[in-house]
Structure 1
Amino acid sequence: MQSLPLFDEASSATHQSAFERWLTDQRDTGALRQPSSIQVYRDMWSSFTAWCLRQSPTVTLASLDTGDLRAFQQARFGMKSADLSLSPRHALRLLRLIDRVLRHHAAATGARANTAAADWIAAQPHVRYAEAAHADPLPEFLSVSEARHLITFLSDARPRPAATGTRRDGQTALSWQQLRNRVAVALQLGAGLTPGDVRVLTLQAPTSQGGRARHRPWKIAVPGNGNSPARETPIAPWAGELLQHWLQVRAESKIAGDFLFPSTRTGKPWSKEAQYLAARQVLADAGLDVADGGSFRLRHTFALRQLRRGTDADQVARWLGIEVEAMGKYRRVVAGPEQVV
C-alpha cells in the first residue's frame, strides 16, 4: 500500500512552475543576473510555497487572498524578537515577489490576475513605505554601560589568573554548553556576527596567525549565503581571548564535528531556536533587558562602535556583509547624541 503524498502534488507543481517561468523571464530580460540574488528569491518563494502547501485546504495561486497573507505574515513575521522576525523591508520584498509571480502567472495562463499581495501591501503602511528613508527605524543597541557590563560578564567565562575569588574560579563552574553560549554571544558583540553566522561557522573560520597576540584569534571568516557574500571580519581582543579559551575547551572535551559551535558532543548543528534561546539566556544572566531587540542589538553595537572609532562606512559594511546603502541607519545614530562603546 502506497503512502499518501505529504502535499497536494498539483498545487506544488503549479507554485513551482509559476516561479520558474517568472525567473526564466527575468533572466532572459537581464533583470536578474547575480546568482546570489536569484538564490535569495528562490529561498523566499520556497518558504512561501511550503507555507501554502501546509494549509488545509491548500492555498493555491488562484485561491490566495489577503486573509491567507495575513496568516502567513503572522506565522513568519509575527514573533516579537528581532532574531526570529523579518523587518518590514524584508516583508515588502517578499510580498512584491509574490505579486510579481502571481501577475506573471496570470499573463502566462490567461487567467485573471490575483492582486492579493498588492492589496495586502497597500493596506500595511509600515510595510508599504518600508524603503522610505524616514521610515527606516533606528537600530537597537547597547548603551556604553550595558556594553561594558556585558563584556565583563562574558569575559568572566575564561581563566583569569590575576583575578581573585569568584572572578578567578567562576569559569570552572560553567558547562561546555554555557561556555559555548557566552562565546557565541561574544562574537556577535565583538565581531558583528548575526545569529545565523554563528551557527554556520566551522573550526577553520578563526584566524590566529599574524595577530598581535600568539594563538589569539583576531579575525574570522564567515561563509556566504543567499543574503550576503562570504567575508572576513575582525574580532575584538577581549572576544578573541574568549574564543581562544573555547577552542581549547572544545578540543579537551573531545567534541566531534567541524562546527565551531555544535549543538551536541557528537557535532550536530545548532538549531535556530536553540541558539536564539541560548543567547537570550546569556543576556538575561548578564542582567540585560531581553524584552525587545534580541541579540541583534549586539551586531548593531559593533557597527556603531566601529563608526565611532572612525572606520570607513564601506569597510564596516563589508565586515557586516551588507550593502553600504544600509549603513544609513547607523550614520543617523552616530550623528546624534547617543553614545556607544
Structure 2
Amino acid sequence: MHSLTQWDADPVKAFKAFVSTEAFAETGRRMRADGTLKILSAESAKIYTFMFNNVAGWIAEQGLAFSTATQADLLRFIGRTEKGKPVLNSKIAYRYLRLLERCYEHLTVTPNPAQQAILQIDRAHIKKDDAGRSLSDDQLERFFAALPADAPRKRRNTPFDGWKRRRDRAMQVVIALAGLKVSEAVGLLVSEVGGQTAIDGSIMLTITPSEKLDTSHEHTVALPREGVDELRPWLEEREKMAIPGQFVFPANLAGNRLTRKTVYVQMRATFERAGLDLSRSGGRTLRNTFAKRQLDEGTKPEELKDALGLALERSAADYKLTRVTPDPG
C-alpha cells in the first residue's frame, strides 16, 4: 500500500499504481459470477486515471495536499463553473466523488472527505439527470415521421437538389437505430460501413476513434434493416455525386466534416416537427432510446456496453434508470 506521503508527493503516479490492482477492486466490491473480485479493465483504468488527473491537477493548483483535502475542498472541485455554467453535471460529479471515496478508503483516511461530500450533494437531482431521457415506441415513430422530407423530383433542377435533406434524414436514423454519439455520426467513415447484409437485413458498423472525439472507443454495432433502407440509398447518391473524402455524412460537396452544432440544430427541428419535448431534443435522447430498447429486448448490460462502445463496466447499467418522459401537456 502506498503511504500518504507518497500520494501527496506524486498522487498521479500513486493512483496509476493503485487503479489496476486487487486493492482497488476491493473498494468497488464488484464480484464475478465465480465469486472472485472483478479487476478493472485497461480501458476503464484509462478513464479513471483521466478523471483522477483532473482532480490531482486542481488540488495542486489550490496549493493543497491530496491526503488533507477536505469535504469542502472536494465540493468546491465538483461545483466549479465556467461562464456561469457548471463544469460537471451532477451525475459526473457524483462519479468523481465515488472515485475519490475509494482512494481515501484505501488510504484509511478518517473521516473520508469524499464520503462526507457525497452526503452533502443533491442525490435527487442526480436521479433526475439519469432519468426521463428516452422516447417511447410511439414517440420514436413520431420522430421518424418528422424527419426531413425529400423534395419532389419534379421540382428539382438537378437530380441531386435537396441532397442535404437526405443526408440529414439518413444520419438521424442511424443515430437513433445504432445508438451512435453525434461525434461518432459526423465522424463515421465509408470504410466503417459493412458491405455484407445479414439474413435479417442488418449491416455492421465498425466505429473507430478515427475522426471522432477521444471519448469514442472502437466497437461494432448492428444497424437494423430500417436504418439500412435509409443509409444505403444515401451512400449510393453520395457516390454518384462524387463527393471526395471518407465522411459518410459530409458537410458539403468538398467532403468536409459536419459540425456537431449543425446536427443538433437539424435534430432539434425534427423533434419540434414531431411535437416532442424540446428540452430533450438531442443525440443523447436517441442514444438512450436505443439502449432502453436493447435492454427491453433482453440484451445484457455487458453486451450493451460493447454495442455502445462504453469504457466503464458499470455505465451500461445506468441505462436501466432511463424512463420514458410523457409528452408536454
TM-score by length of 1: 0.62
Kept in 2, the 8 Å contact 1:138–1:330? The answer is no
Kept in 2, the 8 Å contact 1:262–1:268? The answer is yes
- CA distance in structure 2 between the partners assigned to 1:306 and 1:102 by the alignment: 37
Amino acid at match of 1:261: F
Kept in 2, the 8 Å contact 1:66–1:116? The answer is no
For the residue of structure 2 that corresponds to 1:261, the secondary structure is coil
User: Structure 2 residue aligned with 1:258, among 239, 246, 257?
Assistant: 246
Within 5 Å, give how 1:130-149 maps onto structure 2: 137-149=130-142
Where does structure 1 lack aligned partners over 5 or more consecutive residues? Answer: 1-13, 79-86
- CA distance in structure 2 between the partners assigned to 1:279 and 1:15 by the alignment: 47
Deviation at 1:123, TM superposition (A): 0.9
User: Structure 2 residue aligned with 1:22, among 15, 25, 41?
Assistant: 15
For the residue of structure 1 that corresponds to 2:142, the secondary structure is helix
Amino acid at match of 1:283: F
Within 5 Å, give how 1:126-205 maps onto structure 2: 126=123, 137-154=130-147, 156-157=149-150, 174-176=162-164, 178-205=165-192
| Larger displacement relative to structure 2 (137-146 or 181-190) | 137-146
* Cross-structure match for 2:31: none
Task: Pick closer, same or farther for the CA change 1:332–1:41 going to 2, 3 Å.
Answer: closer
Kept in 2, the 8 Å contact 1:199–1:269? The answer is yes
Kept in 2, the 8 Å contact 1:280–1:290? The answer is yes
Kept in 1, the 8 Å contact 2:179–2:290? The answer is yes
Kept in 2, the 8 Å contact 1:61–1:102? The answer is no
User: Structure 2 residue aligned with 1:76, among 87, 90, 97?
Assistant: 87
- CA distance in structure 2 between the partners assigned to 1:48 and 1:274 by the alignment: 33
Deviation at 1:113, TM superposition (A): 9.7
* Cross-structure match for 2:204: 219
Deviation at 1:67, TM superposition (A): 3.2
The reply on whether 1:39 has 2:46 as its aligned counterpart is yes
Within 5 Å, give how 1:283-298 maps onto structure 2: 283-292=271-280, 294-298=282-286
- CA distance in structure 1 between the partners assigned to 2:188 and 2:226 by the alignment: 19
* Cross-structure match for 1:5: none
Amino acid at match of 1:210: T
- CA distance in structure 2 between the partners assigned to 1:48 and 1:199 by the alignment: 31
Kept in 2, the 8 Å contact 1:187–1:235? The answer is yes
Amino acid at match of 1:144: D
Cα deviation 1:137-157 (Å, max 9, x = unaligned): 545322333222222333744
TM-score by length of 2: 0.64
- CA distance in structure 2 between the partners assigned to 1:240 and 1:189 by the alignment: 12
Kept in 2, the 8 Å contact 1:190–1:302? The answer is yes
For the residue of structure 1 that corresponds to 2:278, the secondary structure is coil
Aligned residues: 290
* Cross-structure match for 1:244: 232
Amino acid at match of 2:284: F
Task: Pick closer, same or farther for the CA change 1:144–1:29 going to 2, 3 Å.
Answer: closer
Kept in 1, the 8 Å contact 2:205–2:222? The answer is yes
Amino acid at match of 1:121: I
Task: Pick closer, same or farther for the CA change 1:15–1:326 going to 2, 3 Å.
Answer: same
Cα deviation 1:89-116 (Å, max 9, x = unaligned): x332223335666899x99xxxx99976
* Cross-structure match for 1:84: none
Amino acid at match of 1:182: R
* Cross-structure match for 2:95: 93
Task: Pick closer, same or farther for the CA change 1:22–1:313 going to 2, 3 Å.
Answer: closer
Kept in 1, the 8 Å contact 2:80–2:86? The answer is yes
Identity of aligned residues (%): 20
Where does structure 2 lack aligned partners over 5 or more consecutive residues? Answer: 1-6, 25-38
Task: Pick closer, same or farther for the CA change 1:27–1:220 going to 2, 3 Å.
Answer: closer
Deviation at 1:24, TM superposition (A): 1.8
Kept in 2, the 8 Å contact 1:217–1:240? The answer is yes
For the residue of structure 1 that corresponds to 2:147, the secondary structure is helix
